[in-house]
Amino acid sequence: MAEKDDDEIIEHHVCEEMEKKTNRNLDSHSFLESVTPSEKEGSSSTQSSHRLLAYSDALISIIATVMILPVSHTQIEPDKELQESLQRVLAAKIAVYLTTFLIVTVAWSAHVRLFQVIERIDDFLALLNLACMMLITFLPYTFSLMVTFQQDSFGILLFCCCAIVIGLIQAVIVVYGFDRPHLLNGQIQISENQTFYKYHILKIILRVPVFCFLAGIFSFIYTPLSYVLLGVVIFLPYITHPLKWCWAKAVGHQEEQPNGMMFYSYHPNEPLSKERIESFSDGVYAIVATLLILDICEDNVPDPSKVREEFEGNLIAALSVYGPEFLAYFGSFVTVGLLWFVHHSLFLHITKTTRLMGLLNTFSLAFIGGLPLAYQLTHEFPKNSLNELEAIQISCVIIFFAGIFQLAIWVTALFSEKETLHVYVRYGGKEHAFMFAKLALYPCVTLTTFFLTCILRRFSAQIFHLMEIIVPFAFLALRIVVRIVLALLKLVFCPSKSVHNADDDTRLPFNRVLS
């Protein structure tokens, strides 16, 4: 009887521990996680922040990609050379798109960090966050005002105002969160240095409003200086760590951070919520994949009267005019879909994501945002024109870079594979080879296509379309191909070993081949 009780107690204890673990690590939707009774008299009931963050990610991913719309709606006259029109009309808009994307992702990563510290929310924080979101969605517009009217200080003022208010709201969230410790991250909750954390985080968050305030003031006096200040604000998180490192090397001064400072450390290995990187990326991929169908649904339904007059009521003939648009849509949907598929496979194997990986992911996403535009261009010009060739090559370059940055995430993960990768996928295994093949497929194919179109200019369109058709099947056949290649490698390099336990032993020969 006593033994049974003991077991029960142990069981209970272990279950409790498991439950705690579950709650902390897995972001589950269990009862305990979603709502716990309020721990303080008078405070409203706390909730899991999971859905609030998913909604914020969706909003921010839409806003990050919005500035591609003015780019893709730029009318390019087919009689001009593409290069010329690109240089004149598009270059500025593309620059705006890329910079907005960067700025919004900086805002996003600040948001991610904030809610890594504040892990639970209540109604007040949810409403504050919505206000913050509204201001973030307004950033792209202020930025495009800034670019269009470079002489006028109003754009920069508006931008600074938004950034200041966003910073202040985040500061309020931090103060509110530290006042109610049950909202905080578990690690900080049990930490002795809570006050230190609070001031450290506040110091970093308030840096942005202060710099923006200065930039706003300088915009009246000397505008270039305020641009410099804004640039510093945006890139500060990325240069702080190298600067500190240099400073420490030069002066020999050691930092006084408490051990295990995991948040707001600006170390490239600082963890960045994997779940949020995934949901932000999903949002961007989903919007980019559907960008062209949005245009098609709005603009490419022919006018009934026109169909009657010009095509004698033949709807199919009228629609065939839009053929290139549909092709572009399917091409871009398939490419974005497959790049998402690679991204999805990649993040299945990663256990922990760092700031550096987040940054590489941002670069990959920025290129993907430009994809629909590039695909649209490939079909807008007369066949075999120089324009068409260039549009195809631009598409290849964009896909290449999107793929290369995905590969870079993988390489970064490999550098600290013990922390960031699942066991079975580490360097040298079969799964590793398969993942590597998946990641390398698009860069290799587009590079080949690029050089082929350089050599065989006449058949560039055919080569490109062939590439579009082959790639999905290549992904389907990839696992088999990798298996065959590994078996061949094994036969060549270790012919002594038996073949039939190929699954377990591929690790060794593959390692040997590579080293």
Applying the rule CB under 8 A, the residues between 104 and 163 that interact with a second copy are 123-124, 126-127, 130, 133-134, 137-138, 140-141, 144-145, 148-149, 152, 154-155
Cα 398 to Cα 70, 191, 356, 373, 407, distances in angstroms: 18, 46, 21, 10, 14
The correct pick among 169, 338, 365, 389 for binding a second copy (CB under 8 A) is 338
Three-state DSSP class for 126? Answer: helix
* Min separation Cβ 333 and a second copy, Å: 5
* Min separation Cβ 476 and a second copy, Å: 6
> Under rule CB under 8 A, which residues in 427-486 are in contact with a second copy?
431, 472, 475-476, 479
Say if residues 136 and 59 touch (Cβ distance below 8 Å).
yes
Kindly tell me which of 140 and 167 has the beta carbon lying closer to a second copy.
140
If you search the block for the tokens 């590439």, which residue do you land on? Answer: 467
> Under rule CB under 8 A, which residues in 230-269 are in contact with a second copy?
none
CA pair distance 52, 46, nearest whole angstrom = 12
The correct pick among 187, 191, 240, 351 for binding a second copy (CB under 8 A) is 351
CA pair distance 406, 435, nearest whole angstrom = 11
Say if residues 99 and 26 touch (Cβ distance below 8 Å).
no
> Under rule CB under 8 A, which residues in 495-514 are in contact with a second copy?
none
Torsion angle of alpha carbons 103, 104, 108, 109, nearest 10°?
A: -20
Smallest Cα–Cα separation from 118: which of 42, 169, 58?
169
The correct pick among 225, 300, 324, 352 for binding a second copy (CB under 8 A) is 300
Kindly tell me which of 201 and 336 has the beta carbon lying closer to a second copy.
336
CB atoms within 10 A of CB 344: 13
* Min separation Cβ 210 and a second copy, Å: 25
Say if residues 227 and 157 touch (Cβ distance below 8 Å).
no
* Min separation Cβ 18 and a second copy, Å: 4
| Neighbouring residues of 328: CB distance < 8 A, sequence distance ≥ 6 | 292, 372, 375, 376, 378, 379
Strand partners for 36: 46
SS3 per-residue string spanning 403-422 = HHHHHHHHHHHHHCHHHHEC
> Under rule CB under 8 A, which residues in 44-103 are in contact with a second copy?
44-45, 47-48, 51-52, 54-55, 58-59, 62-63, 66-67, 69-70, 73
CA pair distance 64, 111, nearest whole angstrom = 14
> Under rule CB under 8 A, which residues in 188-207 are in contact with a second copy?
none
The correct pick among 112, 205, 272, 287 for binding a second copy (CB under 8 A) is 287
The correct pick among 282, 310, 380, 417 for binding a second copy (CB under 8 A) is 282
Kindly tell me which of 288 and 377 has the beta carbon lying closer to a second copy.
288
Binding status of residue 311 toward a second copy by CB under 8 A:
no
Smallest Cα–Cα separation from 370: which of 292, 293, 445?
292
The correct pick among 307, 327, 414, 444 for binding a second copy (CB under 8 A) is 307
> Under rule CB under 8 A, which residues in 376-435 are in contact with a second copy?
422, 424, 431
* Min separation Cβ 58 and a second copy, Å: 4
What letter represents residue 446's amino acid?
Answer: T
> Under rule CB under 8 A, which residues in 3-32 are in contact with a second copy?
7, 10-11, 14-15, 18-19, 22, 25-31
Binding status of residue 294 toward a second copy by CB under 8 A:
yes
Angle between helices 274-299 and 50-65 (to 10 degrees): 50
* Min separation Cβ 203 and a second copy, Å: 28
Kindly tell me which of 278 and 390 has the beta carbon lying closer to a second copy.
278
Binding status of residue 286 toward a second copy by CB under 8 A:
yes
* Min separation Cβ 3 and a second copy, Å: 9
